[in-house]
Amino acid sequence: MMIYYIFMDYQFLDDRVTDKFQKKLSVLAAVGPFTDGFNEFGASTALLAIAVLFHLSAIMSSLILASYWIGVGAGGMIGGIFSDKIGRKTLFVYDTIGMGVFALISAISFSGTFFFFSRLLLGFFIGIDYVAALPLISEYSPIKDRGKQLSFQKFFFTLGALLAIGEGLALTVLVGVYLAWRYIFITAAIPVFILFFLRKSMPESLRWAVENGKEERVKSIKKRLNNYGIKVNVDKNDLGEETSIKDNIKKFFSRPNARALIYIFWLGTAYSMTINLVSVYEPKFLSDLGATSTLSLLGSVISAALGLLGTFIVMITVDKIGRKNIGVAGFILSSIPMGVMYVAFTLHFATLPLIMSMFAIFYFINVGTIGTLQYVPAAELGGTRNRGLSMGWDKLWEFPTAAGAFALYAFLGPINSVLFDTIMPVIAGIILYILAIETKDKSLEYIEDETINENEEAHTFKDVEEE
């Protein structure tokens, strides 16, 4: 069995191949985003039924839809603070209970108010899961595969969304829409209850434990990693000192980290302002062109399937092409299918196959590139003491930017919204080119020194190889 020696420059952790331990950690973490995608897109089937069952107004239906994202944002920020304070593993294990319980409670909802709060709390625990799981993956991943390991989480999110839409379509046919949504949420609860037991075998983040001076936890980590053939050599002199929540937050929002904060904010905001057009108007456009409700749902399945393919392609190329290049290209290329749609509608040659194709291509590009990147830089930037908060900062903007997008689309109307989605990605790509911080081939310590610490004495993966 091969043994790896890990010193406090983390070179042997950073330079090792992606091994059994890393693969297991990534899969166990990815069930969280899978559950997120399943629950988020499962709501589309639910909303068809609960508006009738619970006699909901359009406003209340919208609030229920928004409650999930509010929960994710709140869970991300609050959970991020505690992920940096008490460690990744505790949240990584026990948030699964909340995810499972509130999925089941959503399934037995008997009123709009009950469903609102169950969705809110479900989103809260899923938000917590992101800020525990992604920093944990980032802090263990080899440098040359870190983007791939983080992108794998988005792949599972998209897979969950696709399966939720497919299950919704199948169950609607088999048992009717008024029961289908309940089965979807029951299905969503099953894997996370199993996950509770499986995640217990994973260690705490070595980087977090060392930096916060957690000697007993380091000993436990050493034993667990040794089972996977990874030998950890930590001296007491390597241990840092624990800092307060106040100090962690202050450092995260310090001036040296301003560019990273703006970069993470813009990446998520610009994505939300463009991708939500598909979820809002795709069924309407297809319906106006004569599509049945089943065909419209099938269009969503095709778009989600191509989004999954796009995510897979980015997952296997992100560590070669780089985060910045993928992000800029993704935004600018997204404008092409939207431009074709706008011309087709204004010149009156729009057809059902053409519009379905353009939506699917847009989803392939936009979700595959920008959507996947939402899982990468936020988990790499900042420092070990505030990486959870960095992920929380990313999740915080999901609801307000999505709500802003919905309001803007309503104001502009369908055709002008397509024009907006033609122009906005180009603007977003240019701004991203200015803001982006490339993290490819860099250790987390180098990134921290380069940004939040403003220290140039660090080494990239390539530098280490040359030395």
Q: Domains in the chain and their CATH numbers?
A: 4-463 (1.20.1250.20)
Answer yes or no: is pLDDT of 5 > 60: no
**How do residues 413-426 score in pLDDT, each as one tens digit?**
888 889 999 999 99
Q: Are 130 and 76 in contact (CB under 8 A)?
A: yes
Confidence of residue 454 (pLDDT cuts 50, 70, 90): low
Q: Return the SS3 of 250.
A: helix
Neighbours of 414 (CB within 10 A): 15
Distances in Å between the alpha carbon of 184 and those of 55, 271, 297, 362, 387? 21, 27, 16, 27, 33
Give the 3-state secondary structure of residue 84: helix
Mean pLDDT of 122-145: 95
Name which of 106, 120, 122 is nearest 64 in CA terms: 120
Looking at the predicted structure, is the pLDDT value of residue 271 above 80? yes
List Cα–Cα distances, 77 to 53, 129, 245, 249, 462, in angstroms: 34, 11, 12, 11, 34
The pLDDT tens digits of the residues spanning 172-222 come to: 888 887 888 899 899 999 999 999 999 999 999 999 999 999 999 999 999
State percent of the chain over pLDDT 70: 93
Residue pair 147/440 in contact by the 8 Å Cβ criterion: yes
pLDDT digit string, tens, across residues 316-373: 999 999 999 999 999 999 999 999 999 999 999 988 889 889 999 999 999 999 999 9
Give pTM, 2 decimals. 0.89
Q: Residue 230's beta-bridge partner residues? A: 4
Candidates 169, 197, 162; CA nearest to 183 is 169
Q: Which residues contact 90 (CB under 8 A, 6 or more apart)?
A: 132
Rg (CA), the chain: 22
Tens-place pLDDT, residues 365-397: 999 999 999 889 999 998 899 999 999 999 998
More confident residue, 278 or 187: 187
The better pLDDT of the pair 432, 301 is held by 432
